[in-house]
Structure 1
Amino acid sequence: MGAGEFRVVPYARGRHGDGPWRVVARVFEEYGFPFAEADYDADVLWPERHYREGWFLVAEAADGEVVGCVGLSDEGGGEFELHRLYVLPGARGKGLGERLTREVIGLARAAGARRLVLFSDVAFEHAHRLYERCGFRRNRFRYAPDPWRSREWGFVLEFEEER
């Protein structure tokens, strides 16, 4: 199954329920990361409360199972942030992560972004290569604002102004 065999659609509570939460929880389990249903991780349990309508996307398998997700937020001043790009192990290696990333790049561009930033745990090396393929450059290191102070790389994609 290639990336084209998955549907990428805006999250809808009635259709997708806790699918994004299950995806992120599974990936965190795979990497041995802590995960909490409330507080810091609540955005993937309740995307409609944390993201502008249409700015949290899910990837569905043919049977409707949520196998991936990604979000976008407007941070002000022309800066947007990509959040929560996760794909289940069985759906990886098929171009789906890149497809989700490029969808968010398109949403940010359409909303007038000057730059798109993201932060990614240092352990997600495969994702870092994906971001660089999509035009992001690594620009900083930080300790995340999560309860366990994860180590993260920051990435930025600058958009040229249209004339």
Structure 2
Amino acid sequence: MDITIRAVLDHEVEEVGELTAQAYLRDDLLDSGETDAYLSVLRDVRHRSAHAEVLVAVDGGSGALLGTVTYAGHGGEYAEIARPGEGEFRMLAVRPEGRNRGIGEAMVRGCVDRARAGRLERLVLSSHPAMHAAHRLYGRLGFVRTPERDWEPHPELYPGLRLITFALDL
């Protein structure tokens, strides 16, 4: 498998936004489907890449974009739960044709590498409770559940949604 993990390029932001939005819709992670307010956040890669690091997984043979993830440090606009000394990743999304090829794992490892390069103590993330395959991946990579950090994002928009959290000590 020849996959490259790199920063999103300016001409790719719209495609990456749609890739992310479609992954969330396909996996039924948005309570309101196509009308969910979070879709605009998922699609706005230009803003995200100005305030965090948006990574993409690129097929070395075809050049196709197969996945994306957003990496942010503590205090950044896209860090929701990271504390001082921690990095965080969000919005991990893989195209259907990229699944079961190690794309998600490669992107998570890219975030781990960035956190280590930044000499951070820990890498954290929040996840929808229904994302069982992702949870298994995080466990294989050494992440542990941190239920004391579970939280409810925008309860006024998503009543009853409680995100579960994971951490990897570096």
Superposition TM-score tier, normalisation by shorter sequence: 0.7 to 0.9
Structure richer in strand, relative to its length: 1
- Supply the distance in 1 between the matched residues of 2:108 and 2:117 (Cα, whole angstroms): 14
Q: Secondary structure at the match of 2:124?
A: strand
Residue in 1 that maps onto 2:153: 144
- Which stretches in structure 2 are left out of the alignment for 5+ residues? 76-83
Deviation at 1:69, TM superposition (A): 0.4
Contact between 2:52 and 2:70, CA under 8 Å: does it hold in 1?
no
Greater alpha carbon shift after TM alignment, 102-111 vs 141-150: 141-150
1:135 is aligned, of 142, 148, 154, to 142
Deviation at 1:54, TM superposition (A): 8.1
- Supply the distance in 2 between the matched residues of 1:70 and 1:80 (Cα, whole angstroms): 13
Using structure 2 for the length normalisation, give the TM-score.
0.78
Q: Secondary structure at the match of 2:120?
A: coil
Kindly report which structure 2 residues correspond to 1:18-37, keeping only aligned pairs within 5 A, or say none: 18-32=14-28, 33=30, 34=32
User: Match of 1:29, as an amino acid?
Assistant: L
Residue in 1 that maps onto 2:168: 157
User: Match of 2:26, as an amino acid?
Assistant: E
Contact between 1:137 and 1:155, CA under 8 Å: does it hold in 2?
yes
Deviation at 1:136, TM superposition (A): 0.7
Residue in 2 that maps onto 1:7: 4
- Supply the distance in 1 between the matched residues of 2:4 and 2:167 (Cα, whole angstroms): 27
Aligned length: 155
Deviation at 1:41, TM superposition (A): 4.7
- Supply the distance in 1 between the matched residues of 2:101 and 2:37 (Cα, whole angstroms): 32
Q: Secondary structure at the match of 1:84?
A: strand
Residue in 2 that maps onto 1:68: 67
Contact between 2:14 and 2:45, CA under 8 Å: does it hold in 1?
no
Contact between 1:81 and 1:117, CA under 8 Å: does it hold in 2?
yes
1:50 is aligned, of 35, 48, 51, to 48
Using structure 1 for the length normalisation, give the TM-score.
0.81
Change in CA separation of 1:151 and 1:38 when aligned onto 2, cut-off 3 Å = closer
Contact between 2:128 and 2:162, CA under 8 Å: does it hold in 1?
yes
- Supply the distance in 2 between the matched residues of 1:27 and 1:53 (Cα, whole angstroms): 22
Q: Secondary structure at the match of 1:135?
A: coil
RMSD: 2.5
Q: Secondary structure at the match of 1:18?
A: helix
- Supply the distance in 1 between the matched residues of 2:51 and 2:3 (Cα, whole angstroms): 21
- Which stretches in structure 1 are left out of the alignment for 5+ residues? none
